[in-house]
């Protein structure tokens, strides 16, 4: 799946190419024209050699960087429009038997305060998130016998059934939990509540992986790498991959991520539903996290985000609150399609924050409503849409739509409806003022009469307290 030698050779071979304006222009044109005429071959618009060439562009070269970034932005707009999907993480346990050197939950960290959420506490957390307007969560846990998959499955069902006034409900639960066997993936799927299963390889570089994961079940590089194949075989058909930037050369990680994505696409006809781009952040009592060996600077980080968007146009890209507000704002223009907002990475943190129990420190601590306001001011449409998941547009069904470039047609009205719900149920006056204007502007831009008619009728129903309408 991951061919280290090929990746290293590509990085070396393409160093000279990366200074040629003509060649960079040619690669970017190829990527953009494929995005304008999407097809089933859409998953491989540019070659890995092209990607290596782009990765070797010096991020201080402002003219080339500008071209790369504007191509990423154009491709994101062609495929996804101006929607940005919002979600929040929900940590349920920070006990862990693994040894990831960069994580404060690691077993040998005796300074951290450990916690498993009790049922009542979990319900309070979910209600707190609902009151912020969230409809989509990512549930996370460490790996430990104190909190098992059985506990997690029971909690998924609990979360899915929490309701609060006025219309609080969680409609999609993505999960980011340890690697499972096929039978356990089937049990997870059988809850009928999960959306995407997310798991980062952390680093695709075996020697680095072995150095940074010395014991515990997670220490097995191959088992982890094979996880998405097991998930897909078990019928969990939306999977999200990612690398933790800072552990090894970012150029290697990006190329390996793409090899992984292409392997899944070729083997299962389902590419990754999402790709995440976390960078290592300081974690409590975790010296490794303060000076990771391959720290990625902001310019290189922007470049790698843009290149992933260009290379995998059909896949959602996730940016978390690890990054500071100014950088998140810049990166929104480079192709990210989903962001977390108002996040806490300690179990219980939304209701009762406890010192020294978070997984890592956050750099964007803006409250959720501020993030939403800023998105609107930047011309983005905040969305909490979960329609595909509930209309059976998952896995290959979703990929077929995405690769044809048809997601936007479904998503824009659905996003507007969730945004209208937010304005009615949770928004403050400041957001309401700009929000309804945005809805009117977006509505006016819809040219398809049947789409407009559906939207108008659904907006009216929402005003009359109907909820959860979608196409």
114 or 206: whose CB is closer to ligand SF4?
114
Dist CA 307 CA 14 (whole Å): 15
What is the smallest separation between the CB atom of 226 and ligand SF4, expressed in angstroms? 17
Residues 306, 70: Cα–Cα separation, whole Å: 9
CA distances from 78 to 67, 75, 177, 319 (A): 16, 5, 33, 19
* Spatial distance between the Cα atoms of 206 and 208, rounded to a whole number of angstroms: 5
Least spacing, CB of residue 178 vs ligand SF4, in Å: 6
- 224 vs 393, which CB is nearer to ligand SF4? 224
Two structure tokens written together for 468: 């959860």
The helix (H) or strand (E) run that includes residue 136 is strand 136-141
Of the CA atoms within 13 Å of residue 135, those in its CB half-sphere come to 21
Tell me if 303 sits within 8 A of 65, measured CB to CB.
Answer: yes
C-beta closer to ligand SF4: residue 125 or 143:
143
Which residue number, 83 or 106, has a Cβ lying nearer to ligand SF4? 106
The most distant pair of C-alpha atoms in the chain lies apart, rounded to whole Å, by: 62
Of 59 and 321, the one with the shorter C-beta distance to ligand SF4 is 321
Q: How far is the CB of 104 from ligand SF4 (least distance, A)?
A: 7
**Residue 84 in contact with residue 338, Cβ under 8 Å?**
yes
Nearest residue (CB) to ligand SF4, 216 versus 325:
216
Q: Which residue has the tokens 């450990």?
A: 114
Complex with ligand SF4: residue 98 or 274, whichever CB lies closer: 98
CB of 22 to ligand SF4, least distance (A): 43
Q: How far is CA 429 from the centre of its chain?
A: 29
Residue (144 or 393) nearer to ligand SF4, CB:
144
Q: Of 41 and 222, which has the nearer Cβ to ligand SF4?
A: 222
Task: Give dist(CA 211, CA 198) in Å, integer.
Answer: 23
Residues that bind ligand SF4 (CB under 6 A): 96, 98, 100, 103, 105-106, 142-143, 218
Least distance from ligand SF4 to the Cβ atom of residue 48, Å: 28
List helix spans (H) across 161-200.
182-189
Q: Which of 296, 303, 378 is nearest to 84 (CA)?
A: 378
To the nearest whole angstrom, how small is the minimum distance from the Cβ of residue 202 to ligand SF4?
7
Which tokens belong to 347?
């179990």
Neighbours of 160 (CB within 10 A): 18
> Least distance to ligand SF4 from the beta carbon of 2, Å?
20
Quote the CA–CA distance of 255 and 15 in Å, as a whole number: 14
Whether 43 contacts 265, CB under 8 Å:
yes
CB of 140 to ligand SF4, least distance (A): 8
Provide, rounded to whole angstroms, the least separation between the CB of residue 288 and ligand SF4: 11
Q: State the virtual CA torsion across 246, 247, 250, 253 in degrees, nearest 10.
A: -140
Q: Is the dihedral of CA 317, 321, 324, 325 positive or negative?
A: positive
Q: Which is nearer to ligand SF4, 24 or 179 (CB)?
A: 179
What is the nearest approach in angstroms of ligand SF4 to the Cβ of residue 258?
Answer: 23
């Amino acid at each position: 799946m991951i061919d280290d030698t090929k990746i290293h050779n590509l990085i070396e071979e393409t160093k000279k190419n990366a200074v040629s304006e003509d060649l960079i222009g040619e690669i970017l044109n190829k990527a953009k024209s494929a995005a304008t005429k999407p097809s089933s071959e859409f998953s491989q618009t540019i070659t890995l050699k092209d990607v290596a060439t782009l990765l070797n562009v010096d991020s201080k070269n402002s003219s080339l960087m500008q071209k790369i970034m504007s191509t990423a932005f154009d491709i994101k707009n062609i495929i996804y429009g101006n929607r940005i999907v919002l979600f929040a993480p929900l940590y349920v346990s920070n006990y862990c038997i693994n040894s990831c050197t960069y994580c404060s939950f690691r077993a040998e960290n005796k300074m951290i305060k450990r916690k498993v959420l009790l049922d009542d506490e979990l319900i309070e957390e979910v209600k707190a998130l609902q009151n912020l307007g969230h409809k989509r969560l990512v549930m996370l846990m460490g790996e430990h016998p104190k909190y098992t998959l059985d506990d997690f499955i029971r909690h998924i069902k609990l979360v899915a059934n929490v309701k609060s006034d006025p219309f609080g409900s969680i409609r999609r639960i993505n999960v980011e939990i340890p690697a499972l066997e096929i039978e356990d993936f089937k049990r997870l799927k059988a809850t009928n509540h999960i959306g995407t299963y997310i798991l980062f390889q952390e680093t695709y570089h075996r020697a680095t992986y072995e150095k940074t994961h010395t014991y515990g079940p997670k220490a097995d590089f191959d088992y982890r790498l094979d996880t998405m194949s097991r998930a897909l075989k078990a019928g969990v058909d939306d999977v999200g991959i990612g690398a933790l930037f800072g552990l090894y050369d970012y150029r290697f990680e990006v190329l390996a991520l793409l090899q992984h994505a292409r392997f899944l696409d070729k083997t299962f006809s389902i590419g990754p539903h999402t790709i995440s781009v976390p960078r290592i952040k300081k974690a409590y009592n975790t010296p490794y996290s303060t000076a990771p060996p391959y720290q990625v600077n902001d310019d290189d980080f922007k470049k790698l985000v843009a290149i992933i968007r260009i290379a995998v146009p059909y896949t959602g890209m996730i940016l978390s609150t690890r990054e500071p507000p100014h950088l998140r704002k810049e990166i929104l223009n480079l192709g990210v399609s989903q962001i977390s907002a108002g996040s806490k990475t300690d179990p219980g943190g939304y209701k009762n924050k406890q010192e020294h129990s978070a997984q890592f420190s956050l750099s964007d601590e803006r409250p959720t409503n501020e993030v939403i306001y800023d998105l609107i001011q930047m011309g983005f449409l905040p969305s909490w849409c979960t329609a595909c998941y509930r209309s059976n547009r998952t896995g290959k069904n979703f990929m077929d739509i995405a690769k044809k470039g048809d997601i936007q047609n479904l998503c824009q009205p659905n996003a507007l409806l969730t945004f209208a719900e937010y304005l009615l149920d949770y928004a403050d006056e400041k957001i309401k003022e700009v929000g309804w204007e945005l809805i009117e502007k977006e509505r006016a831009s819809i040219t398809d009469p049947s789409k407009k008619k559906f939207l108008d009728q659904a907006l009216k129903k929402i005003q009359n307290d109907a909820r959860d309408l979608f196409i």
